[in-house]
Amino acid sequence: MDFHYFYDMWGLRGCLGNSSNTVDAEMSVLRYRIEQVRMKERSNTRSNLIHGWNYRPGYDVVKKKPSMLLTSIQLASIVGRTVGLVFFSGSLCIFLVSLIFHHGQIK
């Protein structure tokens, strides 16, 4: 992409002008973006009056922890059953193969 595209995108084409000093233009874009972030943070702190993460309304950490614990237990049980099924089916196959070979040796 063209260097001038970003300045047009941010509406700061005039900052670049005819100057060959791109550092000044980049600094002005950086200042502009920092100011936008500050304004956004101010609006968030005014609306929530809580510093830190802005959780969506209705999000309750106390209710979320038991839910996460239950999900973890369910995942562990699925993994445990899968590993158990693999060992059981492997043991069953080994038993059947040894039974067939043993039956073949008897005759």
pLDDT in tens, 13-65: 555 455 557 888 888 899 999 999 888 887 766 655 554 566 666 666 677 77
Per-residue burial over 31-41, b = 16 or more CB atoms within 10 Å of its CB, e = otherwise: eeeeeeeeeee
Model pTM above 0.75: no
